[in-house]
A and B are shown apart, each in its own frame.
Chain A
Amino acid sequence: MANANHTTRRTFLGLAGGAVALGGVPIVTVRPADATPAMLSSAIRNIVGEANVRTGKVKLDIPPLVENGNTVPMTVSIASPMTADHYVKSIHVFNEKNPQPNIGNFYLGPHAGRAQVSTRIRLADSQKVVAIARLSDDTFWSATADVVVTLAACTEEAI
């Protein structure tokens, strides 16, 4: 639903008569099949295996309403000690509706001092983002956020 609406509005405000891009090659963003919930869960299974993923410990900071899905700031932090015995091994971030479910894997260790990473991501549409942390005892913890993406007005690309 939301998807169809966005497409219409973009076409409407977008360029009449074709796409414009710089550097000579007109680019049309295609809409490949979205990653399905099954793809998302198999991407998660690839990382966690048969382990149980529990909710908690992980904080996923991402604006609930973003100005442009091309560059969405995101910070993941984990409430965990960072000592030789208890620490965060890795952080994995996934999305629900981009063409591919993976966003990034971040590997850290006790020397990090603080289990926190930030980056900027692309979200093709309003959707869920999932962050999973693997602790040194091989337990997995997660957090989920819903993001609403507004599309820019006056775009050069036709979809």
Chain B
Amino acid sequence: MKLLGCIAVLTTLAGAAVAAEIPQAERRSGYSFMTADTEAMQDEDTANPGMLWVLDGEALWKRRAGAADKACADCHNDARASMKGVAAHYPAFEKTLGRPVDLEQRINLCRTNHQQASPFAYESRDLLALSAYVARQSRGMPIEAGSDPKLAPFVEKGRELFMQRQGQLNLGCINCHDDNWDKKLAGSAITQAHPTGYPLYRLEWQSLGSLQRRLRACITGVRAQAYDWGSPELVELELYLMSRAQGMKMEAPAVRP
């Protein structure tokens, strides 16, 4: 019974006329869909569990590592100055690879190239902590990712992935996040999927998590096989989402249900 109900809901969603992209004036951060209690959790540093990772990241920033025996701070000095606004323009084009990398991949490039240490695993506490610490330095700043002309073909690929129907439920991201963002799915606000707060503390996870983790969860949600960690597809989706959120304010580390 209930299962049929769910399919009906999703078919209605999928069947809705495909709307144009969300107009600038109607863009809303996931923050504005939350209850006052959850907003309060994000707003106050001592109440925001994401700040625990920021603290860890601050300690790691100063810790020497790898064969080069260098700390992030040895090259980048005070993160509050050197990392200000950096996360707001990621994913960014990486010349040596000829493609965009996200913030976590950028940090891992410094791990391998500059510290001569092994890269951190995706979603490891250390990588989340460093990316939270770096992203925190962009809080309140407008998102700028995607304006580099070299990124244009990758933004376009990300947009195609966003529109593409997939999985057993045959749904594209767009069917929920552009066409039905003002609706609820069995109690949860659907939202417009603006990645303003990553890495963020998700109540469901009871942990901090990256944008890739969030995207993989939405993909498995439509019963499709999620792209691998670090795959070009996930980075292109991240890039497209960040570029359509241009001008919105960074909230990392945010809190979401």
Is B220 within 8 A of A16, CB to CB? Answer: yes
- Count A-B contacts at CB 8 Å: 76
* A34 at the B interface (CB under 8 A): no
Q: Which residues of A contact B40 (CB under 8 A)?
A: 73
Q: How far is the CA of A70 from the CA of B203 in the complex (A)?
A: 6
Kindly specify which of B30-38, B74-82, B87-95, B233-241 makes contact with the partner chain.
B30-38
Count class of interface residues, chain B: 20 to 34
Q: Which of A29-80 contact B (CB under 8 A)?
A: 63, 65-68, 70-71, 73
Whether B34 and A67, one on each chain, are in contact in the complex, defined by CB atoms closer than 8 angstroms, is yes
Assess whether A28 is interfacial by the CB under 8 Å rule.
no
Q: Using Cβ atoms and an 8 Å threshold, which residues of chain B touch A9?
A: 2, 6, 186
Complexed CA–CA distance, A67 and B204 (Å) = 9
- Assess A70 versus B206: contact at CB under 8 Å? Given A13-B221, A153-B221: yes
**For residue A150, which residue of chain B has the nearest CB?**
B187
Contact present for B220 and A20 (CB under 8 Å):
yes
Interchain residue pairs with CB less than 8 A apart (8): A4-B2, A13-B185, A14-B221, A66-B35, A73-B37, A151-B188, A153-B188, A155-B204
Binding site for A on B (CB under 8 A): 2-3, 6, 34-35, 37-38, 40-41, 123, 168, 185-188, 190, 202-204, 206, 213, 216-218, 220-221, 223, 257
Q: Which residues of A contact B (CB under 8 A)?
A: 4-5, 8-9, 12-16, 20, 22-23, 63, 65-68, 70-71, 73, 150-156
